[in-house]
Amino acid sequence: MRIRITKPGVLSTVQDMGRRLHLSQAVPVSGAMDTLSTRIANIAVGNAHDEAVIEFTYAAAEFVTETDILIAYAGDGATLKSGEVTIPTERPVFIPQGSVVRLVNNPAGSRTYLAIACGWDVPDVMSSKSTYTTAGIGGHEGRALQAGDILQNTKKCSPTTDDLLLKLQGTGINYPKWNITRQALLPMDKKSIRVVPANEFTWFDGCSIYDFLSSPYTLNMRSNRMGYHLDGVPIQRLMHKELLSTAVTPGTIQITGSGTPVLLMADCQTTGGYPRIAQVAAVDLPLCGQLKPGDIIIFKETSRQEAEMLYIEREEHLQKLALAVRSHF
């Protein structure tokens, strides 16, 4: 299965669940900004949940199918269309050779994840297929996709994928009635982000902590895959001692010298020296991956125990979903 990129869009990269084994060498995790959508797209075509996907940022991208393909997509950045046909999300979709597939704007979010049956075939670099553009490694030639790039799937298909393909292939776009409802795995309020107090939480002034946990913060234009700069009430320090650089991780919220919170995302550096006020609950980090400049969020405090429990529940739920897709075919 093969596609050719005809319009690259704002930022389209190959990503997977990230690169975690070389953090000690300061190699960032990278990986999908919205790992939940990534996994749902993979599960829907019978892939392992951590296969490589294409992460599209916003819309305006376009590709042509050079062969018949079986795909699934998830995420809120765009809706896929071929001619006048809207391709539904969160389920396997067969698209015949020679189709032009466009990404059209979806105001709900910013990123869309395209999985292909058996996963995109890009080399493993340090145990991951994720693109990290700063060092020019991973993904498709270590860079964002360009017009003319050709991407194809691997040959390592699961029996589920083979069965799905057998059932759906034909002369036109075809898909089953079922889908994996991502919404069911997410809270109603997608702009309310749960956070666990971080190690330097008590370094901040009480009123500032109250502000941080109750007032709105807006993503400013400097936000990217490394992190989001948040405009809002500045956070004051109570303790003015220096923090020696120590490990940070996607979801960490640091407070800069000027009191601005910075929410670290997938491409964040592995260590940092700004004090950390909170850590976004892992289950809510995919929500953050869908944010865009101008979006307003509110942080809500949760406990370490609660965050871990929600995380385990989510993982178990995803395992059940994968099993359900497998047993269906």
Partner 1 sequence: MPLQSPIYSQALSVYYLSEQAVTVEFGNEISDVLLHRISSFNERLQQNPFPGLQTTVPAYTTLSVFYDALTVLQATHMPGRSCFEKVQHYLLNLGEKNLSQTSSETPPINIPVCYGDDFGPDIADLASQHNLTTQQVINLHTQAIYTVYMIGFVPGFAYMGGLNEQLATPRKATPRQTIPFGSVGIADKQTGIYPLDTPGGWQIIGRTPLKLFDATRSQPSLLKAGNLVNFKSISPQEFDMYSA
Binding site for partner 1 (CB under 8 A): 20-28, 125-126, 134-135, 137-138, 196, 198-199, 244-247, 249, 251-252, 269-271, 279, 281-282, 304-305, 307-309, 311-312, 315
Q: Concatenate the DSSP letters of all residues of 218-235 into one string.
A: EE-TT--SSEEEEESSPP
Residue 182 near residue 112 (C-beta atoms within 8 A): no
Min dist CB 265 to partner 1, Å, is 13
Torsion angles phi and psi, residue 277, rounded to 5: -95, -35
The C-alpha atoms of residue 163 and residue 9 are separated, in whole angstroms, by 33
Nearer to partner 1, 22 or 81 (CB): 22
The C-alpha atoms of residue 284 and residue 282 are separated, in whole angstroms, by 5
227 bridge partner residues: 264
The C-alpha atoms of residue 295 and residue 223 are separated, in whole angstroms, by 11
Min dist CB 138 to partner 1, Å, is 8
Nearer to partner 1, 91 or 129 (CB): 129
DSSP annotation of 185: G
DSSP annotation of 283: G
The C-alpha atoms of residue 99 and residue 3 are separated, in whole angstroms, by 10
Min dist CB 153 to partner 1, Å, is 24
Min dist CB 188 to partner 1, Å, is 22
Min dist CB 280 to partner 1, Å, is 9
Pairing of strands 53-57, 217-219: unpaired
Nearer to partner 1, 21 or 104 (CB): 21
Nearer to partner 1, 79 or 279 (CB): 279
Nearer to partner 1, 34 or 62 (CB): 34
Nearer to partner 1, 27 or 180 (CB): 27
How would you list the strands of the sheet with 11-15, edge to edge?
11-15, 53-57, 111-116, 69-75, 93-95
CA 48 vs. chain centroid, Å, equals: 16
Min dist CB 181 to partner 1, Å, is 23
Residue listed under structure tokens 């069965």 = 163
Residue 19 near residue 123 (C-beta atoms within 8 A): no
Nearer to partner 1, 135 or 238 (CB): 135
Min dist CB 200 to partner 1, Å, is 10
Min dist CB 252 to partner 1, Å, is 8
Nearer to partner 1, 49 or 102 (CB): 49
